[in-house]
Structure 1
């Protein structure tokens, strides 16, 4: 109706304009006649001009409405055609199974997703166009049809969201894909829990299916679900393989009172198990994570692998290393730290390859902290060793004059540090520490520390020897210890200290042996010789004693005095020990060679007195054989009295005693 009215107005205006033009011609011929008539005509043209403009405006509005309707109708029709295609895809997807034809199923999901995204992105724009037309066509009979179209478009606009909602068609289809993905992931599990067994390699066809499913799930914002599902399955598998190793000791809290042998066993297991874990378990997880998610990118598979490593228990290995570093700073701890360092250093390439990415910072940081603490603590302990050896001077020497267990421990300890098992690691630790301090490593630093330790031991021995009230025992003590050091020839410590150092100890051994024999057994034999024929005994040679004895009553006193002196010396020295077996045999042999012939000579001279006075026989307490037997049995280590099993157990206890005695807290640098 509005359009018909506009047409009539336009026609009326045209007729009016035509009539006006005719009048204008007439007026033009009459212009010269009068000006008043011209002004009258002008006044009539003003309302006419306004009316024409109104008619022209209605025509423009009609054209604009027609064009806008055409723009809205075209896209709306296209959207409806896509909707019909989506409906067909929905039917096909419902009747399909991913397990039967995975790639066809993935194609349907892809096309359905694309159709839904088209509807979602274009229907809203079409709706806006139609609503603009509504305003222009208010009251028009075609407005109702357009509103119906708008209602349909709004329904289509919400279709994608409904498809993605739980229970929606696309959501269900994606759930089926996830189930299929879970089945494929389960194929990666290994039923063989032996860590060194080669894990099952996935066929190329399985990898291709995994890539296709993951790519489709990623396109539908389900990548995190893929990763979480993969991590869960792989963590379960890795944990079972690690548990097969027997890692209960990783949860043990190491204290300073723990038996060192147990700690050594723990560290040995730890090193072996960490190597197996990196090279055979986590390496497989690294390669599998990369293979499964490589098309997505390293920013996905590297964090995925890091999660698998952390949740499987890689951090527990590092925490065990920290337990060792938390022990008190003592010499025995240095060996344990070097054991830890050797393991970490040997596996450095594996750690860098597996965990060198920034995605693995949760593993990198504690690993670096562990290495830093191991290096710094080891250097602190090593640098304090000479001072700590000297601090042992306050302890008393052994009552039997043997080599102190502490001295044996220190020399064995030094030989360990200089051996092939520890010297390279110790050298590298010192070098690393110097670099961290921006200092140049000094080649002689290692040997200087050992020289200083040996110097402190020498000062300890001098101090300890003066603690004995018996001079003979003091000489035997020094003889024992110098023999111990001279026997270091051929060892790592002996080679480092040099031949001059070894030879000097050998000379001091003979020197103190001579002093001991003269001081102790020379006085014992004194009653059996004349005042002019004092007995002189040395390690290198013996001098024959005079047998020209005066057979008077004094002989009984002399023999009695010898018996008492011998018994006293034997009883006292039967508790003394010569640690070195060769030295012990040599000293006993010299004693037999010096004491028995002197005694024999005296008894032979004394026998005439016995024949004259039967009561004199009661002073003969020993035979030559009994003297030889007693002298040969002297200086035996007390451990020789135990059975072999008890001997082994006691050795272990003694080692712990020495270790405990040598435990001290170092001042942190």
Structure 2
């Protein structure tokens, strides 16, 4: 080469080379052999330098040249490698998708060739610089061909030494190749990422069988792993992770969006009580289970498969990012919002539902999010559990106090069963049911353990027992507030029967005991007797036959007295009926029994009175004036009594209570809002 510009000749020569893979392999072998040759020359350098110094004073220039020529040879070999680099660059102009593994092989060869240039150019430059200094120091003037050749080689080698560095810059051959590999990585991900298919929307998420979507096929995994391995050695792993997280988190979000999760964004100011969002809480429990067991489980396996060769710390960190960006924190945020709501009885049940959902997924959470990379998820989840446990425990231990606070309220004006009583008994039955009792016991045990106190199952039973005792005392207090004593008897009859009938054979009834239940049955009969005696029981005496017959053994009748007694009876009946037609007996069987007892008390006496004195009364000019009602009409009127007002009464069973329980019942057993 006459000058540095002759490098263009090398580029032209490059075009004569073929781009086949076989020749590339031969080239790689040649590079390896040349490297060994350069290493041998490097080992000979100390003796060569010593020889040059000795020959400087003794030998002719031609003799020195024989020692320098072997150094120029390796420089020419380096230039040959540069030719190979250009050939490899041309091979990389194709798209990696056509043959990814061949493309990766060429990239590897290019990296090795460029590294060879970088490493060996420096070595050859040092040799040639020593030779140049020697020649220049001896002022050789009669033959300068060696010096000219050496200087030209040095200039070329200086350019070649930075080839690898330039290739990694923007626009460089390696930089472009890595960019294509990153694009191929994204393409493969996008091509194989799709939302999980759902079962019919008519089936609840918790019950539907999500079509199992296996991780990517093995060939796809192998391609992704190969790209990751290559880009990892090129310090571009973070770019792979960033693309992976972006694609897979968007895919996971697309799956979850099909569940309509907008409720997770609800704020504390957007609902009055937990009851108004209890449907959302039920959905949250099912959706969280689906997200963890299907969506996040899949992402966990996929991260492990794709990034397994670069270490668990990497793929666990990648999985943590995918999970967070997919919306796990939105689930936790919704749970936190619920814990801040007003403390009421329904909230306790919903907090237990939330705890049950989290506890059901405890093993899954520990397995999926147990690594160091998921510390933030662990912290937020523990914080939610702590709030749920504290909130549920506080509400439970305050229930009996809240029942006592309702003692100052007024009882039902119609003497029926207060909604608070039906609510509290159904509520306690729920707490004692197998669906809630184990969860509540676990929550209370955890809460007491935080205070270093021991929890025993009896504590739960004792607290429920105290709640029922509190509501019993409420009933006694409310009964005393009625101005009409008869109505207070009806009220107590209603409620003692309710406690006996509705709790018999239930968890709460078993807790309170048979003697307690039988006591309420006896109290019902006792107050029923008092009610009848103090109300309808007084009417038959008004139809007494005493004094109606004027003469002993005679047939003469005191007509005025007969009419008077009928009038008094009718007035008393009308007054009693008018007053009690607004009273209610909630239980249908008790209502029928009460009506029948009233009929038995007054109808036979009224019918007998009419049968005895009706013939005489019918002789009057206006008989209807004294026989306002027939015996049958009287019976029908009595049987129409005590009907609950439409929409006010009904069965508050456990199922109904947890569905659309009246707001008034909830408000009767509520506390002050919890601190936000």
1:181 to 185, 206, 231: 185
Structure 2 contact 271–277 (Cα < 8 Å) conserved: no
Shift of 1:420: 2.1
Matches within 5 A, 1:13-412: 62-63=53-54, 78=74, 81-96=77-92, 97=94, 98-121=96-119, 123-124=121-122, 127=125, 139=137, 140-141=139-140, 146-190=150-194, 193-194=197-198, 196-199=210-213, 201-255=215-269, 257-258=271-272, 262-412=276-426
Shift of 1:252: 2.3
Shift of 1:303: 0.9
In the aligned structure 2, how far is the partner of 1:83 from the partner of 1:146? 14
RMSD: 3.4
After superposition, the C-alpha distances for 1:510-539 in whole angstroms (9 at most, x for unaligned) are 111111111111233332226899xxxxxx
Give ranges in structure 1 of 5+ residues lacking alignment: 1-58, 534-547
SS in 2 for 1:187: helix
In the aligned structure 2, how far is the partner of 1:622 from the partner of 1:613? 16
Name the residue aligned to 1:5: none
User: 1:625–1:156: structure 2 CA closer, same or farther, 3 Å change rule?
Assistant: same
SS in 2 for 1:579: coil
SS in 2 for 1:576: coil
Shift of 1:63: 4.2
1:497 to 512, 518, 523: 512
Structure 2 contact 410–478 (Cα < 8 Å) conserved: yes
Name the residue aligned to 2:15: none
Q: Does 1:478 align with 2:492?
A: yes
Shift of 1:183: 2.6
In the aligned structure 1, how far is the partner of 2:429 from the partner of 2:69? 96
Shift of 1:257: 4.5
After superposition, the C-alpha distances for 1:90-110 in whole angstroms (9 at most, x for unaligned) are 313413533343223212211
Give ranges in structure 2 of 5+ residues lacking alignment: 1-49, 58-63, 141-145, 200-209, 549-554
Shift of 1:76: 7.8
User: 1:187–1:321: structure 2 CA closer, same or farther, 3 Å change rule?
Assistant: same
Shift of 1:162: 0.7
Shift of 1:342: 1.0
SS in 2 for 1:664: strand
In the aligned structure 1, how far is the partner of 2:378 from the partner of 2:311? 21
SS in 2 for 1:665: strand
In the aligned structure 2, how far is the partner of 1:467 from the partner of 1:76? 119
Shift of 1:60: 11
User: 1:347–1:588: structure 2 CA closer, same or farther, 3 Å change rule?
Assistant: same
After superposition, the C-alpha distances for 1:586-615 in whole angstroms (9 at most, x for unaligned) are 111111111001111222333254256445
User: 1:69–1:231: structure 2 CA closer, same or farther, 3 Å change rule?
Assistant: farther
Shift of 1:65: 8.5
Structure 2 contact 195–252 (Cα < 8 Å) conserved: no
Structure 1, 582-591 or 231-240: larger mean CA deviation = 231-240
Matches within 5 A, 1:3-22: none
After superposition, the C-alpha distances for 1:532-581 in whole angstroms (9 at most, x for unaligned) are 99xxxxxxxxxxxxxx9973533322221111111111011001011111
In the aligned structure 1, how far is the partner of 2:127 from the partner of 2:586? 108
TM-score (norm 1): 0.81
Shift of 1:428: 1.1
Structure 1, 86-95 or 459-468: larger mean CA deviation = 86-95
Structure 1 contact 193–240 (Cα < 8 Å) conserved: no
After superposition, the C-alpha distances for 1:364-406 in whole angstroms (9 at most, x for unaligned) are 1111111111011101110111111101111100000000011
In the aligned structure 1, how far is the partner of 2:664 from the partner of 2:245? 50
Q: Which has the larger radius of gyration?
A: 1
Q: Does 1:622 align with 2:620?
A: no
User: 1:500–1:132: structure 2 CA closer, same or farther, 3 Å change rule?
Assistant: farther
TM-score (norm 2): 0.80
